[in-house]
Structure 1
Amino acid sequence: MDRMERLREKARNLTDMPGVYLMKDNTGEVIYVGKAKVLKNRVSSYFRNNSSHNEKVRKMVSNVEDFDFIVTNSEFEALVLECSLIKQYNPKYNILLKDDKGYHYIKVSDDIFPRITAEKQKVGSGIFVGPYTSSFAVRQAVDEANRVFMLPTCNRKFNGRKLRNSRPCLNYYIKQCMGACTGKISRDDYNDLIKQAMDYIKGGSTQSVEQLTRQMEEAADRLDFEKAMELRNRIKAIQKVAESQKIILDEHKNLDVIAMAQNGLVVCFVILKFREGRLVDKVDYTIKEVYDPIEVRSDFLARYYSTTQDIPKVVEIDEQGLDTALLSEYLTKLAGHKVTLFAPQRGEGKRLIQMAMNNAAEQLSYKVKRTGREVAALDELTRLLGLSRTPEYIEAYDISNLGDSGIVGGMVVFENGTPKKSAYKKFAIKSTDTRDDYASMREMLSRRLSRYKEEQETGEGFGRLPDLILLDGGKGHVAAVGEVIDSFGLEIPYFGMVKDDRHRTRAIARQGGEIAISTFKSAFSLVTRIQDEVHRYTISYQRKVHKKTTFELELTKIKGIGEKKALALFRHFKTKTAFRQADVDEIAKVGKITTEKAKEIQQFMNNIS
């Protein structure tokens, strides 16, 4: 019995209970851990003949020599156990959370008048606080401390005296720097400010305000009103910074906002952490070889929160379709308090999700070397159409004709959100000589997919299948093309691009209805560009065909010149000007006609406009 048959047989004997399965390679190493509501069905699906697995799963299955399983009483228990086993074995084919970040530090230099700076490494002498995993949090903390306590951020060196031949910089005059360069602050007072700034960084604004308030009251009791006023101003500065950081949230909320951007097989998750109403951190993770957006969201959430103790009471996510009840129960168990997981659809929550999505798109754009706008448009289109993966390679089709003559089709290609003009194709419609857009579209797609069958081994041009097909038309065009794609046994998502009375993109047509698109700005912009481009390209081709046809018809008016001779002459000379400038002998040779007939053609061309 071969390996696959042995695995199929073992899987057929599994229970219908929930549980966890562990795939192992020929060395006995666990290479994948998964959970299942019904073990028998889930595990059997890996070893079926002709299974439509993605490349990552096929690769994993090809390395499976055996599997083990653990039965649980519920799907929730299976989820808990799955996360525990993933942490234990760290399997090759499970999600690995790597955030591409090193450690970051807050440094207090050992100068006479120290500086507080954000550093990526422990370089040079001084006091280092950290390490921190988030550069965002470190930079924000340092910037706030320097601003609140009016610490210098320039490159000047201070010694307690006024610097010669030097005037204070602009920050001093706009009251964002104390002006240590003026010599008006003592070293002791300066170091006291540095200590207060570091207390602020370590303890936060609430603790700093309480401490400074006590000092202000003590100064007032000593009748040191100048010091009390100075401390009062510092308290106001801290409160002002805190307020400016709280503008996103209306309340003192603790929540995580999580969004995902996808480009091809690469996804990026961004987590925005809000604590006491303030954005205190941004964490991002890039994961490769991803196919199912819903599955990867579920796996990411479970894996991420199983590795951290900082779990807020509210987690907002960017996508519905997840088993939020199951994941909420799991997060509640991890956190020791109730955790609500949901996808907000309006208001402040929706705005925060959009903010996280924008960050994820920008972060991913660096990884895939595309602009954030392109990544966001493709990601939004993926969500809107319910696609299982980002459509990196999009083909769009249009039909153009003038009455019943010159019927042509055009195909344009957008790769990663931008036109790929080298892949554009033209089609002269042959199956119908009447105005039948559905028949023309069927012919165009049939010819294109037939070429795929012939050239698929090349993986280029017609040998590459699109991730998405868009048609200039409505539900009728979608139905017509669906028949063709099904007849080839292919699974390619296809939709229509519907225009309004003013010839502007209005909606996406699908089987059974339409999808409104105007409120999805990034996707709307991309689809409009694609529709305009395929229309432009097809019309341009149709005009050339019409011009050629008219020219040929003019030549056939000459006695003795039929369609074949007219076509040969047109292909050689192409324009009327070329005809007029041609030598009579050349015309005779190309058309295989007598010199007298060639003179007649030349005279005819000179007399027409």
Structure 2
Amino acid sequence: MNPKMKELRAKAMALPLQPGVYIMKNSRGDIIYIGKAKKLKNRVSQYFGSQNNHTEKVRRMVDNVDDFEYIITDSEFECLILECSLIKQHTPKYNILLKDDKGYSYIRVTDEEWRRLSYVLQKADDGARYIGPYKSSYYVKSSVEEANKIFGLPTCNRRFPEDFGRGRPCLNFHIKQCCAPCTGRVKLRDYNERVDAALEFLSGDSSRMMKELQDRMTAAAEALDFERAARYRDQIASMKKLRDKQKVVDIRLDELDVIAVAIEGNKGSATVLRFNESRLYDTENFIIDDVDDEVDFRSQFTLRYYTLRGEIPSHIALDGEIDDPENTEHWLSDKKGKRVYLTVPQRGVQKNLIDMCRKNAFEALGQQRGVTGRQLSVLDELKNLLGLDKLPEYIESYDISNLAGADNVAGMVVFENARPLKSAYRKFKIKSFSGQDDYGSMAEVLTRRLNEYKKAQEEGIDTGFGRLPDLILLDGGKGQVGAVLPVVASTGLDIPVFGMVKDDHHRTRAIVSDSGEIAIRPNRAVFTFVTNIQDEVHRYAIGFNRQQRKRVLGSTLEEIPGIGKKRAKELMRFFRTIRKISSATVEELEQAPGMTHPAAVSVYQYFHEEEGD
């Protein structure tokens, strides 16, 4: 804890109740954080009061504060402008900072007989021809990739004509994305025609280029050059396919930026999709460390991003709320020179774009963790649906299984990052009572599990039972949830508990809490995920129950004279059930592997002794 906490708090309590910017410094005098406040006294004093409500990042920052300064402003809007300016100037450690590595991109055409097309970020003095510069690296990259595919140009490392006939054509030839000059069968004249057409496609109007290709196809067909006509036909088809894929988004706006953020652990990801004339022309993603509050992250990212970018659109769609949206909108409008609108779409085309943008943000996070963006995205949907405080990366699910009250057992399955973690699965035998009581069984299992957590903590173990779940899902309804909540509450732990209920056809229907049901069918990804969890825990619990029954039945057979463990196992494998064994004749029993006549008689007599046989 900061030894100067009392001194700093006393200084903060003397601040005026006016808008302004505060500047936190460490013991070396370095600026480590810059913030703004509507009322300086109220905001700054919060840092040096109770630390219980602060995030981990804020606590670390406060521990390093040696002193602070402040600047009073005439309005909250002036606060925002001053804060942005100071952050850009000083780049404090604990503010969200974005590296402005957005450079220019070029289309590179090699200076050789068999020319190649590629995209690069910098010019080089290599004799190649460079077309550009372009601001959007996304646009250049995707355009060059599509041009190479449409006109069948090679993207491999082979050199021509040196490598003619030295190997088989690669996969791109077989999927009709390369003309395969490596085979030595492509004429240089035809190849250069493809390169020229690709360059014309990249630098001109695609509609005009398509009309020209159609004219060439017609001329080739009339000249009976059907092979060339077929090539033009394929290029036209590829261009039409590309144009269909790049259809105008019906957003009815000339300019639109879509911003979405994602948080997993202490890492944040922000993705920006930029549209002009209703077409996507650029996309950017940023990974930020030490992020723990979504609203603050989104707010700071929006300000930092447009501090770096000169092009501000007339409309910006966000995936959630930000701090001080009115002044942020005012600042953006002032920077652009005309009105800028900030919105949080709830439906329609823009909402669909927000969802796509958010999935891309999670995809970038997933690549950092080695999981897919789809997995993180479904956890985010589940978090929002259940109103959880953080992403449920570690989920435990429980189910009870018995047969008419006998062999009462439970199964626990674990999903980590939306995938089964089978090494963490656990089995429980119900010990505190006999008979059928699903509520009591569930309460006993969770009591034992949480007691194991306490033991593991005392021993310094943070794996297995030593790790707390972010979410508990019970295979059952409100009764099971009601039985478990007091158990969790008695430990003082804060673990969300929900049930998974099924319909009359034994299919997952909804998630239930102690206050009611939450429909999940409209959320397709969440519905599939929860169904998988419920099916898996049910399979695991009922499988353990069957193992227990087989073990008990096997023990029953071993009580018969002349029947050991091996013969009991062979009898069960041959007849499948005790009922079939008990109703079998001596001759039928002798057919089982390893059985002798005396052993068969002994088994028959065991099950028929009451009949006097």
Q: What range describes the TM-score normalised by the shorter chain of this pair?
A: 0.7 to 0.9
Q: Which residue of 2 is the match for residue 438 of structure 1?
A: 439
Distance in 1 between residues matched to 2:402 and 2:149, nearest whole Å: 67
Distance in 1 between residues matched to 2:385 and 2:526, nearest whole Å: 8
Change (3 A) 1:248 1:539: farther
Change (3 A) 1:537 1:244: closer
Change (3 A) 1:62 1:484: farther
Change (3 A) 1:357 1:129: same
* 1:146-202, Cα deviation, whole Å (9 max, x unpaired): 799x796688979xxxx9xxxxxx99xx9x99x9x86879x9x999989967764xx
Is 2:474 the counterpart of 1:471? Answer: yes
* 1:203-260, Cα deviation, whole Å (9 max, x unpaired): xx59x98xx99xxxxxxxxxxxxxxxxxxxxxx99x9799647514134632112223
CA contact (8 A) 2:153 2:195 kept: no
Q: Secondary structure at the match of 1:61?
A: helix
* 1:107-144, Cα deviation, whole Å (9 max, x unpaired): 24344786543135545322335566754221234357
* 1:68-106, Cα deviation, whole Å (9 max, x unpaired): 334445554433333222212211122232488886432
CA contact (8 A) 2:153 2:194 kept: no
Is 2:522 the counterpart of 1:531? Answer: no
Change (3 A) 1:435 1:333: farther
Write the mapping of 1:256-405 to structure 2, written as runs, cut at 5 A. Answer: 256-319=257-320, 324-405=325-406
Q: Secondary structure at the match of 1:306?
A: helix
Q: Which residue of 2 is the match for residue 459 of structure 1?
A: 462
Change (3 A) 1:108 1:388: same
Write the mapping of 1:67-466 to structure 2, written as runs, cut at 5 A. Answer: 67-72=68-73, 74-98=75-99, 104-111=105-112, 116-123=117-124, 124-129=126-131, 134-142=136-144, 200=204, 205=205, 244=244, 247-250=247-250, 251=252, 253-319=254-320, 324-456=325-457, 457-466=460-469
CA contact (8 A) 1:20 1:70 kept: yes
Amino acid at match of 1:247: K
Q: Which residue of 2 is the match for residue 503 of structure 1?
A: 506
Distance in 2 between residues matched to 1:531 and 1:99, nearest whole Å: 46
Distance in 2 between residues matched to 1:494 and 1:436, nearest whole Å: 19
CA contact (8 A) 1:114 1:194 kept: no
Sequence identity percentage? 46
CA contact (8 A) 1:98 1:286 kept: no
Q: Secondary structure at the match of 1:23?
A: strand
* 1:420-469, Cα deviation, whole Å (9 max, x unpaired): 11111222333444543333323322222222222223221222122222
Distance in 2 between residues matched to 1:434 and 1:322, nearest whole Å: 56
Q: Secondary structure at the match of 1:471?
A: strand
Q: Which residue of 1 is the match for residue 35 of structure 2?
A: 34
CA contact (8 A) 1:292 1:388 kept: no
Deviation at 1:280, TM superposition (A): 1.0
Deviation at 1:23, TM superposition (A): 2.6
Amino acid at match of 1:136: Y
Change (3 A) 1:195 1:551: closer
CA contact (8 A) 1:265 1:389 kept: no
Q: Which residue of 2 is the match for residue 586 of structure 1?
A: none
Deviation at 1:305, TM superposition (A): 1.5
Amino acid at match of 1:421: K
CA contact (8 A) 1:451 1:463 kept: yes
> How high is the TM-score relative to the length of structure 1?
0.73
Q: Secondary structure at the match of 2:118?
A: strand
Q: Secondary structure at the match of 1:388?
A: coil
CA contact (8 A) 1:580 1:605 kept: no
Change (3 A) 1:444 1:248: farther
Q: Which residue of 1 is the match for residue 497 of structure 2?
A: 494
Farther-moved stretch of structure 1 (320-329 vs 538-547): 320-329
Is 2:579 the counterpart of 1:577? Answer: no
Distance in 2 between residues matched to 1:93 and 1:465, nearest whole Å: 29
Q: Secondary structure at the match of 1:341?
A: strand
Q: Which residue of 1 is the match for residue 483 of structure 2?
A: 480
Distance in 2 between residues matched to 1:552 and 1:319, nearest whole Å: 61
Change (3 A) 1:576 1:428: farther
Amino acid at match of 1:496: G
* 1:372-405, Cα deviation, whole Å (9 max, x unpaired): 3322222322232333332221111222233443
Change (3 A) 1:491 1:151: closer
* 1:567-604, Cα deviation, whole Å (9 max, x unpaired): xxxxxx878726999xxxxxxxxxxxxxxxxx99x967
Deviation at 1:507, TM superposition (A): 1.8
Change (3 A) 1:39 1:385: farther
| RMSD of Structure 2 on Structure 1 (CA) | 4.6
Change (3 A) 1:144 1:538: closer
Change (3 A) 1:348 1:403: same
Please point out which of 513, 516, 523 is paired with 1:520: 523
Deviation at 1:535, TM superposition (A): 1.5
Amino acid at match of 1:300: F
Farther-moved stretch of structure 1 (58-67 vs 532-541): 58-67
Q: Secondary structure at the match of 2:308?
A: coil
Change (3 A) 1:505 1:39: farther
Q: Which residue of 1 is the match for residue 548 of structure 2?
A: 545
Change (3 A) 1:182 1:50: closer
Deviation at 1:502, TM superposition (A): 1.8
CA contact (8 A) 2:104 2:133 kept: yes
Deviation at 1:322, TM superposition (A): 6.5
CA contact (8 A) 2:21 2:36 kept: yes
CA contact (8 A) 2:554 2:569 kept: no
Deviation at 1:308, TM superposition (A): 0.8
Deviation at 1:327, TM superposition (A): 3.6
Q: Secondary structure at the match of 1:496?
A: strand
Change (3 A) 1:11 1:5: same
Distance in 2 between residues matched to 1:557 and 1:191, nearest whole Å: 86
> How high is the TM-score relative to the length of structure 2?
0.73
Distance in 2 between residues matched to 1:68 and 1:13, nearest whole Å: 12
Deviation at 1:18, TM superposition (A): 4.3
Change (3 A) 1:100 1:268: farther
Deviation at 1:15, TM superposition (A): 4.3
Change (3 A) 1:576 1:345: farther
